[in-house]
């Protein structure tokens, strides 16, 4: 059976003439209109200055040089120098303005994308490879940056130069202009074919790069699994396939360029031959001057130089448009859970499941008609066989998902009526696999660079973590390796417990928090939990039943339903599912 479709696709092409896409791209500069118009004004001005130089040269040749009045040359030379200096200054200002515009826009866009990702539900991340998201936030956003800082400005400059050159050429001599532009229809045809082929090639390359990044991220993050099961060769073969496809796609792309530019250069040279032939005929027939012919040769160069480059710029812009399409697809993805306006959790705290059912997308129901409540200060344990719905229940308490039927109520309000700030600020989760950042221990406890060191030490003492932290070289300021690899599993769990207490939660959720630690470390964690359970409302998912005997209530789940409920002693007296599980764990 096919799995659920991914949220993001890599093969969605973008049309160069997609008006809606262009409008949306331009709307990114809505808050930078002043800077955008300043850059545009500099562009319009800077592109016309080079076209004044051939006219000066024409006047110099047909005037002082032809008449041998060399004393009249200095004004022309000074005008040339002024145009060169002015052009350089305008180019500098234009580059500065466009770079500042692009960097400001991309900085704001990347922040908005990252902020939106923080609110997506967990199913999005389960179905979207991290490598693909990294490509969107990294390479694709950088392509948009290049569009604003280079692509659009350079393409607009090239188009303006072509338009200005054509106007000046026809104004100077329309016959010579027609001779020079006779090859233009062939250039347009060849450029159109080239651009379409390269557009398809770039779309293919982008998709392969995203696939390559995703494969590298998955294989490297799971390298210990790959190696322990002896699958390194298989992963290398899989990577080699994707890498070879990417190489072939790039080679195809380069092949298009190797055909296009030599052909375009040949047409340009042929155009110059036509110009010189017609120019010589008209010059000897006294229909044009030498200055006009030399100036026209300069204008022809100004026309064809950007024309040769424009296809490359359009292709780069096409690639950036494809990246923009993918970025906007991510931005438009509806994967956020509804957020309410309530900014504070009720006091006293009260959580209730009211006939809650839940199914993952395209999957069967994993919870069916689950109902229970927990009041402030209570500790409730959830036990059951693998696949009974325990971790899903924790995810619903955390609002990582919403029920497909029924309600999760906090106080007398649905959980979706509360803001993210209200929920995340007063709920804490300790998973089985603790994630630690490559920062100091104090940062990992407070999850903030602005930590209160005395408060960090207080909670670490409370959970019996202070002893091992104080033995480290820099104590609480000791930097951890990625994912806390320089700590044991038990030490990581103690830090996770300290992190939870630092937040002063109203509800503490523990999902198999002691499943991967040894018996001695489990004893330390249980001692720390014993203190916490008396102070904080707690829901504990546990596999080892010996760890939850002191819970106020125990919920026994089986096939997505609560089958038994009561204290440890009450459940043993029932001689049901819990009693059998306890006997199996106690006596084997």
Secondary structure, 3-state, 186-209: HHHHHHHHHHHHHHHHHHHHHHHH
Confidence at residue 352, expressed as pLDDT on a 0 to 100 scale: 92
Q: Which of 150-159, 258-267, 305-314, 515-524 has the lowest mean pLDDT?
A: 515-524
DSSP state of 440: B
* Residue of 34, 79, 32, 38 whose CA lies nearest to 55: 79
pLDDT digits (tens, 9 = 90+) for 118-139: 777 777 777 777 777 877 888 7
pLDDT of residue 10 exceeding 70? no
Classify burial at 70, counting beta carbons within 10 Å of its beta carbon; exposed 0-12, middle 13-18, buried 19 or more. exposed
Confidence at residue 1, expressed as pLDDT on a 0 to 100 scale: 37
280-299: average pLDDT: 78
Q: Which of 145-149, 196-200, 247-251 has the lowest mean pLDDT?
A: 145-149
* Residue of 457, 524, 458, 455 whose CA lies nearest to 489: 524
pLDDT digits (tens, 9 = 90+) for 362-372: 778 899 999 99
User: Which residue would you say has higher pLDDT here, 279 or 454?
Assistant: 454
pLDDT band at 186 (very low <50, low <70, confident <90, very high): confident
Confidence at residue 310, expressed as pLDDT on a 0 to 100 scale: 74
Give me the residues paired with residue 290 across strands: none
Confidence at residue 587, expressed as pLDDT on a 0 to 100 scale: 61
pLDDT of residue 401 exceeding 90? no
427-434: average pLDDT: 82
Q: What is the mean pLDDT of the chain?
A: 81
User: Which residue would you say has higher pLDDT here, 534 or 174?
Assistant: 174
Q: Could you give the count of Cα atoms lying within 13 Å of 254 in the half-sphere of its Cβ? A: 6
* Residue of 366, 364, 425, 424 whose CA lies nearest to 400: 424
Confidence at residue 517, expressed as pLDDT on a 0 to 100 scale: 58
Distances (CA, A) of 62 to 42, 59, 65, 288, 426: 32, 5, 7, 11, 84
Distances (CA, A) of 264 to 76, 162, 301, 302: 35, 16, 14, 15
pLDDT band at 224 (very low <50, low <70, confident <90, very high): low
Q: Which of 140-154, 242-256, 379-393 has the lowest mean pLDDT?
A: 140-154
pLDDT band at 408 (very low <50, low <70, confident <90, very high): very high
* Residue of 259, 260, 278 whose CA lies nearest to 270: 278
Percent of the chain with pLDDT over 70: 90
* Cα–Cα distance, 318 to 515 (Å, whole number): 52
Q: Which of 297-311, 337-351, 564-578 has the lowest mean pLDDT?
A: 297-311
Q: Which of 246-260, 471-485, 508-522 has the lowest mean pLDDT?
A: 508-522
Confidence at residue 357, expressed as pLDDT on a 0 to 100 scale: 93
DSSP state of 338: P
pLDDT of residue 13 exceeding 60? no
Domains along the sequence of the chain with CATH = 19-332 (1.20.1560.10), 350-587 (3.40.50.300)
Confidence at residue 2, expressed as pLDDT on a 0 to 100 scale: 43
Confidence at residue 371, expressed as pLDDT on a 0 to 100 scale: 92
* Cα–Cα distance, 371 to 281 (Å, whole number): 97
- pTM, to two decimals: 0.63
pLDDT of residue 349 exceeding 70? yes
pLDDT of residue 3 exceeding 50? no
440-466: average pLDDT: 88
Contact 333, 121 (CB under 8 A): no
Confidence at residue 222, expressed as pLDDT on a 0 to 100 scale: 74
Structure tokens at 384: 């059951």
pLDDT of residue 4 exceeding 60? no
Percent of the chain with pLDDT over 90: 6
* Cα–Cα distance, 383 to 577 (Å, whole number): 10
6-13: average pLDDT: 54
176-201: average pLDDT: 81
439-465: average pLDDT: 88
pLDDT digits (tens, 9 = 90+) for 38-95: 888 887 788 778 878 888 887 888 788 877 887 778 888 898 888 889 888 988 888 8
Confidence at residue 355, expressed as pLDDT on a 0 to 100 scale: 92
Count of C-beta atoms within a 10 Å radius of residue 100: 16
* Residue of 79, 70, 31, 24 whose CA lies nearest to 52: 79
pLDDT of residue 202 exceeding 80? no
């Amino acid at each position: 059976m096919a799995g659920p479709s991914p949220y993001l696709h890599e093969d969605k092409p973008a049309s160069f003439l997609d008006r809606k896409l262009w409008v949306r791209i331009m709307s990114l500069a809505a808050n930078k209109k002043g800077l955008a118009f300043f850059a545009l004004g500099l562009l319009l001005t800077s592109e016309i200055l080079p076209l004044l130089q051939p006219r000066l040269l024409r006047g110099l040749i047909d005037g002082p040089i032809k008449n041998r009045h060399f004393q009249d040359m200095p004004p022309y030379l000074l005008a040339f120098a002024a145009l060169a200096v002015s052009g350089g200054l305008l180019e500098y200002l234009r580059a500065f303005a466009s770079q500042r515009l692009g960097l400001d826009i991309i900085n704001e866009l990347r922040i908005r994308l990252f902020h939106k990702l923080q609110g997506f539900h967990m199913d999005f991340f389960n179905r979207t490879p991290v490598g693909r998201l990294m490509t969107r936030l990294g390479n694709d956003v950088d392509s948009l940056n290049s569009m604003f800082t280079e692509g659009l400005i350079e393409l607009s400059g090239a188009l303006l130069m072509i338009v200005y050159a054509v106007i000046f050429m026809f104004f100077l001599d329309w016959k010579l202009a027609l001779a020079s532009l006779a090859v233009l229809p062939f250039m347009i045809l060849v450029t159109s074919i080239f651009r379409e082929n390269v557009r398809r090639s770039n779309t293919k390359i982008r998709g392969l790069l995203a696939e390559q990044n995703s494969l590298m991220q998955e294989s490297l993050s799971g390298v210990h699994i790959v190696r322990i099961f002896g699958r390194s060769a298989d992963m290398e073969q899989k990577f080699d396939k994707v890498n070879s496809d990417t190489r072939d796609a790039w080679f195809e792309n380069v092949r298009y360029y190797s055909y296009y530019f030599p052909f375009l250069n040949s047409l340009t040279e042929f155009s110059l031959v036509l110009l010189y032939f017609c120019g010589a005929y008209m010059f000897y027939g006294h229909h044009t001057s030498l200055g006009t012919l030399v100036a026209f040769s300069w204008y022809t160069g100004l026309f064809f130089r950007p024309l040769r480059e424009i296809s490359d710029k359009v292709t780069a812009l096409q690639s950036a448009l494809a990246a923009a399409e993918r970025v906007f697809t991510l931005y438009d993805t509806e994967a956020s859970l509804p957020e309410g306006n309530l900014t504070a959790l009720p006091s006293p705290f009260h959580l209730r499941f009211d006939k809650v059912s839940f199914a993952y997308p395209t999957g069967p129901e994993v919870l069916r008609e689950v109902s229970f409540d927990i009041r402030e200060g209570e500790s409730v344990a959830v036990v059951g066989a693998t696949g009974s719905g325990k971790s899903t229940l924790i995810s619903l308490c955390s609002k990582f998902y919403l029920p497909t039927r029924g309600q999760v109520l906090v106080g007398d309000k649905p959980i979706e009526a509360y803001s993210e700030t209200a929920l995340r600020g007063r709920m804490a989760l300790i998973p089985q696999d603790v994630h630690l950042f490559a920062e100091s221990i104090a940062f990992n406890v407070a999850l903030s660079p602005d930590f209160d060191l005395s408060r960090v030490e207080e909670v670490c003492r409370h959970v019996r973590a202070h002893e091992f932290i104080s033995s480290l070289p820099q104590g609480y300021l000791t930097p951890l390796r990625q994912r806390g690899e320089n700590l044991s599993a038990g030490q990581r769990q103690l830090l996770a417990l300290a992190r939870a207490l630092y937040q002063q939660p109203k509800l503490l959720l523990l999902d198999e928090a002691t499943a991967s630690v040894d018996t001695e470390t489990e004893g330390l964690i249980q001692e720390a939990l014993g203190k916490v359970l008396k102070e904080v409302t707690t829901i504990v998912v546990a596999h080892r039943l010996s760890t939850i005997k002191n819970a106020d209530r125990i919920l026994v789940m089986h096939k997505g339903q609560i089958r038994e409920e009561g204290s440890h002693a009450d459940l043993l007296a029932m001689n049901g599912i819990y009693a059998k599980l306890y006997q199996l764990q106690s006596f084997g």
